[in-house]
């Protein structure tokens, strides 16, 4: 059997810490909602200042303290995992360990402090060098990830690490990646999940997109007007069934699937096709019949388009069987972004374990255009399996199948991965890019620089292999400092004009996932898509993850894209850190990976190792390692 067994859990949400963070409710009770007016967001000028904050005093590892709430949330969840593993698996630190953690905004709170400080320094305010360095270290997307791992003594280079900056599907994708690592035998133990903290930056973005509610979320109901933000963190420790060593199994991850809409950067495919494809892939991976799934943990943002789309996806997945109960957990704890997938999966697991069909929060008549099976009060009901659905900016979709008992899932076998083509660029000419892509020049001009650079690199790749060779592929993007300069431009307008005056078109580009989504739309890349950024060598990380997807059959072809804007905020940040002397430049590189050896330029090992503290950064790191693979392949062929 090849399920991934959850043997330890760490969680925090507005409901509490530990099991209370994901409590699925009690029989006969309505859903408990902890959303409230948020005074911090109100003072920041938000017109719809509702959120669900985690408890103020978090239990943290002894001797630790964190300035960034995101780091504290992740450290709280990780501390619970460490404590549990220390008790049940004392030698776990000596095992082959993988850590896959997802986020939407990561170190955004630290980044906004960095942006404000840069503005103050530009006005002539003084700051000590050590103060600048401390602010710079906390301004990256991966800063909370680094801090939490360091606090748990898990910063060893021998630990396999991936930090998925994949918006609202991040932790679902992270758990799926963990399942694949175990499938391939690359790890003995995986810690996977996600985190995010409420921030004024993100709250402003969702409000200007008109995605937030003026009252309380009402998923799948007539008159629903959006979601409220939440915050939290959730992690699970995963092992293969034969390696539980007698530990009790909380739930099993029996299937994973991922896809891309390739329709719009923020709005979902209204047919539900993309999400349905991800769900169908997860169900097929599990080997279960749809009729055995009695619960769907829905993405359920309570926005008009998402819920209608999701209801269509659910109807398509279960068209020939009784409709499963749908649980919209975001309406209780807020949209926890990078933590949403894992916290909602844990709530579904709690329901499976206790035999409870959970109640759905929200009032009003069910929308006929978003018809799903909701319960006003929780019911006792035997449940064997659940389907978790997630969607995200960039059109990314992900799904998991969770089971109470062993699924009997057939193990996946790894296959070789080959490099078929690569292309690199250093600048963008809009006239040329419009001609290559067929996208109007004025639309290209409205894209942020990072997206234009990434699209230009993929356009060059398409010129090498032909556009038709890319259609249907997946895409994994990697960065050194992701969207740092785009984020500074957005935040400067927010601080100067207030939340209500920010152009809503600016916010989507602040997601590191945006560049993958824009390229997916133009080239119809409908396989898995997301971005990664565990450190400054994100290009190497993207190559490893892209190779994993091909090796384990989640995609036959994957575009790996590494892209860096290298603007003033990024360069200033690097100048304040130990990376100041490492090669860094504006540009992008795209490579095409596939499962066929025909016309291959190199063989790619998913177990890529690199030194995150040395060598070139971002796309330059990808260029260096691809050149190394190609050189070794040519030497082997000549030999």
Q: What are 590-628's pLDDT values in tens digits?
A: 999 999 999 999 999 999 987 778 889 999 999 999 999
Asked if residues 458 and 523 have their Cβ atoms less than 8 Å apart, the reply is: yes
Q: Whole-angstrom Cα distance, residue 156 to residue 186?
A: 17
Say which of 5, 168, 519, 576 is annotated catalytic. Answer: 168
619 is catalytic: no
Closest CA to 3 of 160, 183, 173: 183
Share of the chain above pLDDT 70, in %: 100
CA–CA distance, 490 with 570 (Å, rounded to integer): 15
The pair of three-digit structure tokens given for residue 45, joined into one six-digit string:
């000028």
What is the rounded average pLDDT for all residues in the chain? 95
Let me know if 264 is a catalytic residue.
no
The pLDDT score that the predictor gives to residue 500 is 87
- Cβ(515)–Cβ(590) under 8 Å? no
Bridge partners for 100 per DSSP = 162, 192
Helix (H) or strand (E) holding 592: strand 587-594
The residues, any chain, with a CB within 8 Å of residue 311's CB and separated by 6 or more, are 220, 272, 369, 370, 371, 372
> Is the distance from CB of 275 to CB of 168 less than 8 angstroms?
no
> Which three-class secondary structure state does DSSP give residue 14?
coil
Catalytic residue list contains 5:
no
Pair of tokens at residue 325? 């109960």
Q: How far is residue 546's CA from residue 420's CA, in Å, rounded to a whole number?
A: 13
SS (H, E, C) 41-62: HHHCCCCCCEEECCCCCCCCCC
Question: Cα(519)–Cα(111) distance, rounded to whole angstroms?
Answer: 26
Q: Are 228 and 335 in contact (CB under 8 A)?
A: yes
Task: Give the per-residue pLDDT at 164.
Answer: 97
DSSP state of 339: G
Per the CB < 8 A criterion, the answer to whether 518 and 443 are in contact is no
Smallest CA-to-CA distance from 426 within 589, 591, 617 is with 589
Catalytic residue (choose from 5, 23, 187, 299): 299
Q: Which two tokens stand for residue 546?
A: 């892209």
Cβ neighbours for 39, distance < 8 A, ≥ 6 positions apart: 49
Share of the chain above pLDDT 90, in %: 90
Which one from 163, 327, 335, 619 is the annotated catalytic residue?
335
Q: Residue 507 gets which letter from DSSP?
A: S
- From residue 190, alpha-carbon distances to 9, 215, 273, 490, 527 in Å are 12, 39, 31, 36, 24
Quick check: 269 pLDDT over 90?
no
For the record, the structure tokens of 154 come out as: 């898990």
Of residues 537, 623, 543, the one with CA closest to residue 588: 623
What's the rounded Cα separation, in Å, for the pair 358 and 425?
Answer: 51
Output DSSP code: residue 612.
T
CA distances from 355 to 236, 253, 292, 383 (A): 21, 18, 14, 6
Q: Are 135 and 117 in contact (CB under 8 A)?
A: yes
Residue 373 corresponds to which tokens in the numbers above?
């099976």
- The neighbour count for residue 191, using CB atoms within 10 Å, is 29
Looking at residues 482-504, what average pLDDT do you find?
A: 93
Residue at token pair 């003594």: 153
Distance CA 2, CA 239 (A): 9
Please give the pLDDT value at position 639: 65
Structure tokens that stand for 495 in this block:
């601080």
> What's the CA gap between 424 and 363, in Å, rounded?
53
* Alpha carbon distance 195, 618 (integer Å): 24
Q: What is the mean pLDDT of residues 359-388?
A: 95
Residue 635's pLDDT is 84
Mean pLDDT of 71-99: 97
Q: What is the pLDDT of residues 21-55, one digit of tens each?
A: 999 999 999 999 999 999 999 999 999 999 999 99
pLDDT band of 1, cuts 50, 70, 90: low
Give the residue from 109, 113, 19, 17 showing the smallest Cα distance to 71. Answer: 109
User: SS in 3 state form for 61-101?
Assistant: CCCCCCCCHHHHHHHHHHHHHHHHHHHHCCCHHHCCEEEEE
In sequence order, what E strands does 261-343 have? Answer: 293-297, 325-327
DSSP notation for 367-405: PGGG--B--SS-EE----EEEEEEEEGGGEEEEEEEESS
Dihedral in degrees, nearest 10, Cα atoms 535, 537, 541, 544: -150
Residue 227 has pLDDT above 90, yes or no: yes
pTM over 0.85: yes
Q: For residues 461 and 592, is the Cβ–Cβ distance under 8 A?
A: yes
Domains recognised in the chain with CATH numbers? 4-24+32-106+141-403 (3.40.47.10), 418-638 (3.40.47.10)
pLDDT at 585 over 70: yes
Contact at 8 Å (CB) between 253 and 400?
Answer: yes
Please state which of the ranges 163-172, 455-464, 544-553, 628-637 shows the lowest mean pLDDT.
Answer: 628-637
Whether the predicted pLDDT of 461 surpasses 90: yes
Residue 620 corresponds to which tokens in the numbers above? 């330059």
């Amino acid at each position: 059997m090849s399920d991934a067994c959850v043997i330890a859990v760490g969680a925090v949400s507005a409901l509490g810490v530990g099991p209370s963070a994901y409590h699925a409710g009690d029989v006969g009770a309505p859903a408990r909602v902890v959303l409230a007016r948020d005074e911090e967001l109100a003072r920041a000028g938000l017109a719809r200042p509702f959120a669900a904050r985690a408890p103020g005093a978090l239990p943290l590892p002894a001797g630790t303290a964190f300035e960034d709430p995101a780091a504290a949330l992740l450290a709280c969840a990780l501390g619970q995992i460490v404590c549990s593993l220390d008790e049940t698996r004392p030698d776990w630190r000596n095992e082959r360990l993988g850590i896959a953690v997802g986020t939407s905004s990561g170190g955004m709170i630290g980044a906004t402090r960095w942006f404000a400080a840069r503005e103050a320094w530009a006005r002539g305010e003084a700051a000590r060098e050590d103060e600048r360095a401390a602010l710079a270290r906390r301004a990256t997307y991966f800063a909370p990830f680094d801090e939490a791992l360091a606090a748990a003594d898990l910063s060893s280079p021998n630990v396999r690490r991936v930090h998925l900056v994949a918006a609202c599907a991040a932790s679902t994708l992270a758990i799926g990646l963990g399942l694949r690592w175990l499938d391939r035998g690359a790890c003995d133990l995986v810690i996977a999940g996600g985190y995010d903290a409420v921030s004024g930056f993100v709250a402003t973005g969702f409000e200007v997109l008109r995605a937030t509610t003026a009252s309380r979320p009402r998923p799948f109901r007539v008159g629903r007007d959006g979601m409220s933000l939440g915050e939290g963190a959730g992690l699970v420790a995963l092992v293969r069934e034969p390696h539980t060593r007698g530990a009790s199994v909380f739930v099993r991850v029996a299937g994973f699937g991922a896809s891309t809409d390739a329709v719009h950067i923020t709005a979902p495919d209204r047919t539900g096709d993309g999400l349905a494809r991800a769900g169908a892939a997860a169900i097929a991976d599990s080997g279960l019949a749809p009729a055995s799934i009695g619960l769907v943990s829905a993405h359920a943002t309570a926005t008009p388009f998402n819920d209608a789309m999701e209801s269509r996806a659910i109807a398509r997945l279960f068209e020939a069987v009784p409709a499963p109960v749908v649980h919209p957990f975001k309406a209780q704890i807020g949209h926890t972004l990078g933590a949403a997938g894992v916290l909602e999966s844990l709530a579904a697991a709690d329901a499976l374990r206790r035999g409870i069909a959970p109640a759905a929060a929200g009032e009003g008549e069910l929308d006929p255009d978003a018809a799903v099976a909701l319960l006003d009060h929780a019911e006792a009901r035997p449940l064997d399996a659940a389907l978790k659905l997630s969607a995200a900016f960039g059109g990314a979709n992900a799904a998991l199948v969770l089971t109470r008992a062993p699924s009997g899932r057939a193990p996946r076998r790894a296959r070789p991965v080959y490099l078929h083509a690569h292309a690199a660029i250093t600048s963008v000419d809009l006239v040329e890019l419009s001609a290559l892509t067929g996208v109007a020049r004025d639309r290209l001009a409205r894209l942020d620089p990072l997206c234009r650079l990434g699209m230009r690199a993929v356009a060059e790749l398409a010129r090498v292999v032909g556009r038709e060779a890319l259609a249907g592929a997946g895409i994994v993007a990697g960065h050194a400092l992701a969207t740092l300069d785009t984020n500074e431009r957005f935040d400067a307008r927010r601080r100067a004009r207030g939340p209500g005056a920010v152009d809503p078109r600016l916010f989507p580009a602040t997601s590191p996932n945006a560049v993958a989504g824009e390229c997916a739309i133009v080239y119809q890349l409908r396989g898995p898509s997301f971005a990664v950024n565990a450190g400054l060598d994100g290009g190497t990380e993207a190559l490893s993850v892209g190779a994993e997807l091909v090796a384990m059959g989640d995609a036959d072809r994957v575009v790996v894209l590494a892209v860096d804007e290298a603007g003033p905020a990024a360069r200033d940040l690097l100048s304040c850190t130990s990376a100041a002397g490492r090669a860094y430049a504006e540009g992008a590189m795209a490579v095409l990976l596939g499962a066929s050896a025909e016309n291959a330029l190199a063989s790619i090992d998913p177990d890529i190792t690199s030194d995150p503290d040395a060598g070139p950064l971002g796309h330059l790191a990808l260029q260096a390692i691809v050149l190394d693979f190609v050189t070794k392949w040519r030497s082997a062929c000549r030999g």
